[in-house]
């Protein structure tokens, strides 16, 4: 069945077209405007790819994002062995968790602009190669300095999973689908944090170096999947839409990375523009028909953010608070439960794992999409990002209650089953 269509005038549903040159835009099955608009009959447009291929790409992005935090916490059960091998204090061994986090923080400032120039695929592949090589270095490190350097580059290499991974999801999914997909994407990073110590505890039975060798194996598997199943998704949407016949044209997107309509008037025809699956196997040239940022653009944007204090303070408080309390809880397990073996300590993360699964699968992405849809119907079919904030309030309350109860259980040395129950409440 053909998709229902509507003219560009969106403020009043059902409005009669006033300018046919603007063409028609396609609505979703719920009567909400699809954004961005797909280029009709272009098999190279990521929005037109099959659902199977889109979800294969989602799985690859999730796998690398899982490793984003897995590498940070999987070594926690091996802290005693690391202290013994490198003659470290408790403070020094905690830095082995902080240093890959530094790589995770600095990496996107380097990788992101290049992903908007030469494409997402090659950046994903290069980052994975760096992370895999660094994991080998961590397994073979002869001293504390070498181990710390390898840990930094582990984080630096896997960091494209955050910003570039999110860009890939934006490339292949419509806006009204992104809540659910990003919920799964966030689930990957949550599980990486929590599954890391669980697996690390059991792999540590062999040796603490095998924790790193397992990372090498996982990165190797992801690298093969990227090479075989991950096509380029950076697409010159504005240029392609501008070449559509007047009768079939759709609204040009407002993507700031794309050329304006005026900027593509004298360029080659769309059939001659090399894009997505037609690009080189390892493309190292700027993707055609796009406005490319400078390599330092990501760093510049980060610094410019500090001009807007409200945005800066809110973002920093959220990111620092989320990452700090998760890592603070994680790194305190060997101290809080010193009477248990690393394997039992890893099993204590089951509460957080179950809570994260329940939250993301049933209350985060899918429920967020439903809330946004309901709000859009009451707003003349226009979606707003603020509609997704409603789920933050119960999350804040439940997380606070869960942390308080967990702290009390540790202080009063409650049975570990109560620890699991309390942590499940954090969802």
Please report whether residue 142 resides in a domain: yes
| pTM (predicted TM-score) | 0.78
Q: Which of 32, 79, 144, 21 is nearest to 377 (CA)?
A: 32
Beta partners for residue 24, in sequence order: 7
Residue 29 inside a domain? The answer is: no
Alpha helices in 332-412 (DSSP H): 333-336, 342-347, 350-358, 365-377, 392-411
Backbone angles phi, psi at 39, to 5 degrees: -85, 115
- For residue 89, the SS3 value is coil
Q: Distance between CA 128 and CA 134 in Å, rounded?
A: 10
Give the span between the Cα atoms of 165 and 148, in whole angstroms.
Answer: 26
CATH number at residue 80: 1.20.1250.20
Q: What token pair was written down for 404?
A: 């308080």
* Distance in angstroms (rounded) separating the CA atoms of residues 296 and 303: 11
Polymer length of the chain: 427
Looking up tokens 């209350």 gives 363
Q: Which residues pair with 33 in a beta bridge?
A: 27
Triad 211, 192, 166: Cα angle to 5°:
130
Q: Domain containing 111: what range?
A: 50-306
Tell me how crowded residue 120 is: count the other CB atoms within 10 A of its CB.
25
92 part of a folded domain: yes
In a domain, 298, yes or no: yes
DSSP state letters, 121-137:
HHHHHHHHHHHHHHHHH
- pLDDT score for 246: 55
Question: What's the domain count of the chain?
Answer: 1
At 316 the pLDDT is: 80
Q: Are 235 and 46 in contact (CB under 8 A)?
A: yes
CA distance 119 to 293: 12
In a domain, 370, yes or no: no
pLDDT of 26: 57
Residue 34 lies in a domain: no
d(CA 254, CA 258): 8
**Is residue 349 one of the residues assigned to a domain?**
no
Extended beta strands in 113-197, E state: none
- Whose CA is closest to 215, among 133, 117, 303? 133
> What pLDDT does residue 340 have?
74
pLDDT less than 50: residues of the chain: 1-23, 247, 249-252, 254, 256, 258-266, 422-427
In this predicted structure, what is the pLDDT of residue 231? 96
Q: Output the six-digit token pair for 2.
A: 């053909």
For 192-251, give the DSSP string.
HHHHHHHHHHHHTTT-THHHHHHHHHHHHHHHHHHHHH-------HHHHHHTS-TTT--P
pLDDT of residue 27: 54
Dist CA 371 CA 10 (whole Å): 20
Q: How many CB atoms lie within 10 A of CB 6?
A: 17
* Dihedral angle of Cα 158, 184, 301, 307, to the nearest 10 degrees: -130
Say how far apart CA 129 and CA 404 lie, in whole Å: 41
Has residue 90 been placed in a domain?
yes
């Amino acid at each position: 069945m053909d998709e229902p269509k509507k003219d560009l005038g969106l403020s009043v549903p059902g409005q009669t077209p006033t300018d046919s040159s603007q063409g028609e835009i396609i609505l979703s099955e719920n009567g909400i405007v699809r954004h961005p608009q797909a280029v009709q009959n272009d098999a190279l447009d990521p929005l037109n790819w099959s659902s199977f291929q889109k979800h294969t790409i989602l799985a690859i992005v999730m796998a690398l994002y899982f490793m984003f935090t897995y590498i940070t916490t999987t070594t926690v059960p091996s802290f005693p062995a690391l202290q013994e091998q490198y003659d470290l204090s408790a403070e020094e061994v905690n830095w082995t968790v902080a240093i890959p986090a530094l790589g995770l923080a600095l990496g996107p400032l380097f990788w992101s602009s290049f992903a908007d120039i030469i494409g997402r695929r090659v950046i994903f592949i290069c980052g994975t190669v760096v992370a895999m090589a660094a994991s080998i270095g961590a397994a073979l490190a002869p001293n504390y300095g070498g181990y710390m350097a390898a840990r930094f580059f582990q984080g630096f290499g896997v960091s494209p999973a955050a910003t570039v991974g999110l860009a890939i999801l934006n490339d292949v999914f419509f806006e009204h689908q992104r809540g659910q997909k990003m919920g799964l994407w966030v689930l990957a990073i949550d599980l990486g944090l929590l599954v890391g110590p669980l697996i690390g505890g059991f792999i540590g039975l062999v040796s603490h170096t095998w924790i790193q060798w397992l990372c090498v194996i996982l990165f190797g598997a992801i690298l093969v999947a990227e090479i075989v199943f991950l096509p380029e998704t950076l697409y010159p949407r504005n240029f392609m839409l501008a070449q559509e016949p007047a009768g079939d044209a759709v609204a040009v997107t407002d993507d700031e990375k794309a050329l304006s309509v005026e900027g593509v008037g004298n360029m080659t025809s769309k059939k001659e523009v090399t894009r997505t699956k037609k690009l080189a196997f390892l493309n190292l040239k700027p993707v055609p028909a796009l406005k490319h940022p400078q390599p330092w653009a990501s760093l510049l944007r980060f610094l410019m953010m500090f001009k807007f204090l409200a945005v800066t303070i809110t973002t920093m408080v959220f990111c620092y608070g989320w990452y700090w309390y998760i890592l603070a809880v994680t790194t305190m397990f060997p101290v809080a439960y010193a009477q248990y073996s690393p394997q039992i300590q890893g099993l204590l993360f089951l509460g957080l794992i179950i809570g994260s699964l329940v939250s993301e699968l049933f209350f985060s992405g899918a429920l967020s999409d439903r809330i946004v849809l309901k709000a859009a119907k009451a707003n003349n079919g226009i979606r707003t990002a603020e509609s997704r904030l409603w789920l933050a309030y119960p999350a804040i309350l439940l997380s606070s209650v869960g942390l308080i109860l967990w702290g009390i259980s540790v202080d009063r040395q409650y049975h570990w089953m109560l620890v699991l129950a309390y942590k499940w409440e954090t969802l």
